[in-house]
A and B are shown apart, each in its own frame.
Chain A
Amino acid sequence: MKASPRKFIGSMVLAVAALGTAAPQAAAQPSSQPPSERQVRAWAATCAACHNTDGRSIGGFPALAGRNADDTYRALMEFQSGKRPATIMHQHARGYTSDELRRIADWFANVKPAR
């Protein structure tokens, strides 16, 4: 049901390493500490209002559960830049820093997809 904490932490380490030189979007209040797993889970829960709980979409919108983290992150960044056509996702993606989007993408990658 839930993302395994161990897997999650593992992917966080990778994510942080991968971010290395990526300049985060100007944040109003940069956090001094990386967000907790609970924090990222709560951010991802916002997506569930359209993509269903844990990203297990029941149709009409893409399922995010278990999706490759790099693919999700790339899609979100392309929504943000306007490179990827969208009706609404560009408007949502622009509300998040690249770091936040990376962490949300990682979170969904660790969810077991719907049966």
Chain B
Amino acid sequence: MSIDRRKFLTAGAAGAGLALAGCASTPSRPLARVVVIGGGYGGATAAKYLRLWEPRLDVTLVERNEAFVSCPISNLVLAGAEKIENLTVRYDGLRKYGVRVVRDDATAIDYDKRVVRLARGDALPWDRLIVAPGIDFLYDQVPGLGTAEAQSRVLHAWKAGPQTVALRRQLEAMPDGGVFAISIPRSPYRCPPGPYERASVVADYFRKSKPKSKLLVLDANSDIVSKPALFRGVWNERYKGIIEYRPNSELVEFDLKRNIARMQVEDVKADLFNIIPPQRAGMVATDLITVNRQWCGVEYLGFESSKIPGVHVIGDAIAPAPAMPKSGFMANNHAKVAADAVIAKLTGQPVNEDPIIANTCYSFLTTTEAVHVASVHKYDRQQKTLVVVKGSGGLSPGRTELEAQYAYAWARNIWADALG
């Protein structure tokens, strides 16, 4: 474990000239500067673990929002069973680890000069960069939703925060007997079970508070993407007569004036739409995109960009390995592999060749009962990717209140792991 003294001194000398004097716990001559773009599940975890595992690093996290708001659990806000404040965590905890948190917008990355440009502050120089930009929406693929006005009326609520609260208000304002339609893009998108969980818990709200209302699930995919039997089970039983599922329903245009969603085969009218648009890696990562003009290719030993060396990409923005969901749990696990690899590269150690990561996604089927899907992923040297370990993982047999408690326990622990 002890780092070769000479290597350390050499690396330190290289970075020292430009180094900024950071917080009190950062040495005046840091080993190197690492910038992390994005303070979500991936970025926050990466910044913390870089400092936890290598306190000689100068680590700066750039995040545009004042606080972290969790997407997991946020569907319960739509159902009126949770408050957004309870899903909100400030970045103060990271400062205790010596992470410098800069609230700004990372507008561009200069890969030659090795700086991140900010909307307001001075550019941030880096020796290694971790990009965790999450997703942005491909509104150009949904004609009719291109304007700011359209986007403020037809919400995605697929980044937890103001949109979540606004969609809850729209749901409350919808009269009993109204029709609420959720449009799901083609896979891959952020959080595979999320849209179906949303349908389930909003249907639970309708069942209790607006029993004459209907919920249309307009799915661009040919079947439910995640946990299909579990979702179908609760829909056919508890939400019979409320939820109607329409597979192969890809949105091609939205008519804002008449409030009509044009699908390939039909026009759908509803009182309230929630359109989750197709997605891509966050805008700032545009130059790192390699797959389908959407996702950033990486090598899975250290999540280093397959396009630009010295730059790592983690979380929802990456081109996923087989059966790897775009989830907060996965982003948290990517972050640790990437942090370890960044430290290895900066201290002249070999990168670990046997990463093992895992995933667990809890989904609420009612406001008080949940299920999970889990998997373990190991690096396969022949295929050069992470693959699901045979025999690992699986689903819950059915929904329970115990797993709803575990879903909350998971959320609180992973927030502490990433931010506390």
Contact = CB atoms under 8 A, between A and B. Distances in A.
Contacts of A88: 360, 372, 374, 406
A96 B376 contact: yes
Q: Which of A28, A59, A96, A100 has the largest number of chain B CB atoms within 10 A?
A: A28
A61 B349 contact: no
Interface string B249-272: 000000000000000000000000
Contacts of B394: 91
Q: Which of B392, B396, B408 has the largest number of chain A CB atoms within 10 A?
A: B392
Q: Which of A36, A49, A52, A53 has the largest number of chain B CB atoms within 10 A?
A: A49
Q: Is the interface of B mostly helix, strand, loop or mixed?
A: mixed
A38 B336 contact: no
A39 B352 contact: yes
Interface stretch (A14-22, A40-48, A66-74, A105-113): A40-48
A55 B69 CA distance: 23
Interface string B387-410: 001011110100010110110111
B358 A38 contact: no
15 contacts: A29-B380, A35-B354, A49-B358, A49-B410, A50-B413, A51-B413, A53-B416, A60-B409, A61-B406, A61-B409, A61-B410, A91-B375, A91-B393, A94-B376, A95-B391
B338 to A, nearest CB: 10
B329 interface: yes
Contact of A94 (B392, B403, B416): B392
A92 B329 contact: no
Contacts of B402: 87
Interface string A75-102: 0000000000001100110111000100
A92 B406 CA distance: 15
How many residues of A sit at the interface, in one of the four size bands? 35 or more
Contact of A45 (B49, B396, B406): B49
Given A60-B406, A94-B376, A95-B391, 17 more contacts: A2-B53, A29-B382, A31-B353, A41-B53, A42-B340, A43-B356, A45-B336, A48-B413, A49-B329, A49-B332, A49-B358, A50-B360, A51-B413, A60-B409, A61-B410, A95-B356, A96-B376
Nearest to A3: B1
Contacts of B413: 48-52, 57-61
B378 interface: yes
B9 interface: no
A13 interface: no
Contacts of A41: 53, 340
Contact of A53 (B52, B354, B358, B374): B52
Contact of B333 (A46, A59, A60, A92): A46
B403 A87 contact: yes
Contacts of A53: 48, 52, 416-417, 420
Interface in A1-15: 1-2, 5
Contacts of B392: 91-92, 94-95
Contacts of A42: 336-337, 340, 352, 355
Q: Which of B53, B358, B408 has the largest number of chain A CB atoms within 10 A?
A: B358
B5 interface: no
Contacts, number: 127
Contacts of A29: 354, 380-382
A51 to B, nearest CB: 6
Contacts of B67: none
Interface residues of B, number: 51
B412 interface: yes
B22 to A, nearest CB: 19
B2 interface: yes
B344 interface: yes
A46 B412 contact: no
B401 to A, nearest CB: 12
A54 to B, nearest CB: 9
B414 interface: yes
A71 B410 CA distance: 22
B389 to A, nearest CB: 4
Q: Which of B48, B400, B416 has the largest number of chain A CB atoms within 10 A?
A: B416
A29 B402 CA distance: 37
A61 B337 CA distance: 23
Q: Which 8 A-B pairs have the closest CB atoms?
A: A60-B409, A95-B376, A95-B392, A95-B389, A45-B336, A5-B1, A52-B413, A91-B394
Nearest to A56: B416
Contacts of B340: 38, 41-42
Contact of B357 (A1, A5, A36, A46): A46
B406 A87 contact: yes
Q: Which of B1, B360, B392, B400 has the largest number of chain A CB atoms within 10 A?
A: B1
Given A45-B49, A50-B360, A60 B410 contact: yes
A13 B162 CA distance: 54
Contacts of B406: 60-61, 87-88
Nearest to A58: B416
